[in-house]
Amino acid sequence: MPSCTSDPELQLDGLAGPTHHFGGLSFGNRASMTHAGWHSRPRQAALQGLAKMRQILTLGVPQAVLLPLPRPDMGFLRQAGFSGDDTAVLEQAARRAPYLLRLAMSSAFMWTANAATVIPSGDSTDQRCHLVTANLIATPHRALEAHARAAMLRVLFPDPDRVVVHDPLPASLALSDEGAANHSRLCAPHQVQGFHLFVYGRAADVPPHDLPSRFPARQSREASQAVARLGHLSCEQALFVRQQPTAIDAGAFHNDVVMVGDGDRMFIHESCFDEQSAVLKTLRQHVPSLVVHEVSQQDLPLDQAVSSYLFNSQLLRTPQGRVLLAPSESSSGAAFRVTQRLLDSGFVDHVYFQDLSQSMAGGGGPACLRLRLPLNPDEIASMAPSVILNDTTIKDLETWVERHYRDQLEPAELADPHLLYETRQALDDLTQLLNLGSLYPFQRDTL
């Protein structure tokens, strides 16, 4: 494994699917709840995501794409008791259980930070990279993603001698796992092994009166510890800390809404962790060069931190220096003033604001859309090569989106059988575009 500063991490971004809609399915996610029932713009959502991927490439950071999952999830609807052909199943679900139809149509898989937790080969005791697929059982619509994502990741990483893709943890509330949104890898310059920070919201020994009172705590400590074991991390390389309940109740349903860390930099709100001073002291012991920019409640109130998603920015090491890629919602007011302090202090060299309005309306900023992969050259070479992007591939994907995605999607159109067939045609064309063969079950079923 190269040193922490020698090679940029590969960014693996999810792509919004043709059924991108605002179903209000994520309790505790303020943006998701606020925009429930609004009409969505699937084409704009996908093109905004691709524009962000192009920006990352322009910065000199390697970029890959993770394909949409098939939606609607017809298997889920049939298991729920709806029968007949596909049109009949959709009609029954829309009439008798519209909530289940919204679950089956969810495009929340676009937020790839929740897909898995990554333990690099340089950190694991068996010297293999480990991707532990998240079970996402805290929310019903995201729980549908887990096993399909594991299968897709194995297509992207077909060599288990280099990259191991683990099945999700058991679907138990005791092991509720939300992926890399609650995990950060920190590392000093020229240091080979990283130090892993796992953040949880609840644990078996945390009494109910110490839990958040407004919104549920999704990540369990038991799940984080299980992920560390599966990733072959030694005890000395991991720290498990609790997120402040006040942050969760303010809408920080994942820790990446109040913190982002990369290498020896950490950008954090003062309301992030329980016993935050002690946590930061411990982190500095393991990463002595760690630079922490802690933002006070006075400078950026917690509710504004959540609404702006400033801490859900991507913190990147690039050939031009350290970059903060922030959502355009943080380009004004108190959040913008914080970014100027980051520049003035030398914490980052550049700040860029990215328009991700469709993703933001569903509750996901720049960091939600990507999974960070610290891979060595041999591991990157073992990947499915067609998902690693260049400018030509992004142009091809933009053309594909323009051809297949609807400009606007109303909630009532989720039951439209034409949407099902449009989506299948789009995904079939996408697998051909990227030379991935029969990736989806519906493709294999028709052979």
How far apart, in Å, are the Cα atoms of 59 and each of 17, 253, 264, 380? 26, 30, 20, 19
Beta bridge partners of 41: none
Q: Which segments within 283-436 are labelled E, that is strand? A: 291-295, 314-318, 321-327, 350-354, 370-373
* Euclidean distance between CA atoms 125 and 233, whole angstroms: 6
Chain-centre distance for alpha carbon 378: 24
Catalytic residue among 178, 222, 270, 379: 178
Catalytic residue among 196, 254, 269, 286: 254
Q: Which of 207, 199, 216, 299 is nearest to 251 (CA)?
A: 216
Torsion of CA 109, 113, 117, 121, to 10 degrees: 120
Would the CA dihedral through 93, 94, 98, 102 be positive or negative?
positive
* Euclidean distance between CA atoms 116 and 430, whole angstroms: 23
**Whether 187 is catalytic:** no
**Whether 410 is catalytic:** no
* Euclidean distance between CA atoms 150 and 369, whole angstroms: 17
Structure tokens at 446: 């028709």
248 and 217 in contact (C-beta within 8 Å)? yes
322 and 347 in contact (C-beta within 8 Å)? yes
Catalytic residue among 269, 272, 368, 404: 368
**Whether 178 is catalytic:** yes
Q: Nearest 5°: phi and psi at 142?
A: -80, -25
Q: Which of 238, 208, 236, 210 is nearest to 226 (CA)?
A: 238
The full DSSP string for 115-178 is TEEEE-TTTSTTSSEEEEE---TTSHHHHTTHHHHHHHHHHH---TTTEEEEPPPPS-GGG---
Q: What are the catalytic residues?
A: 178, 254, 368
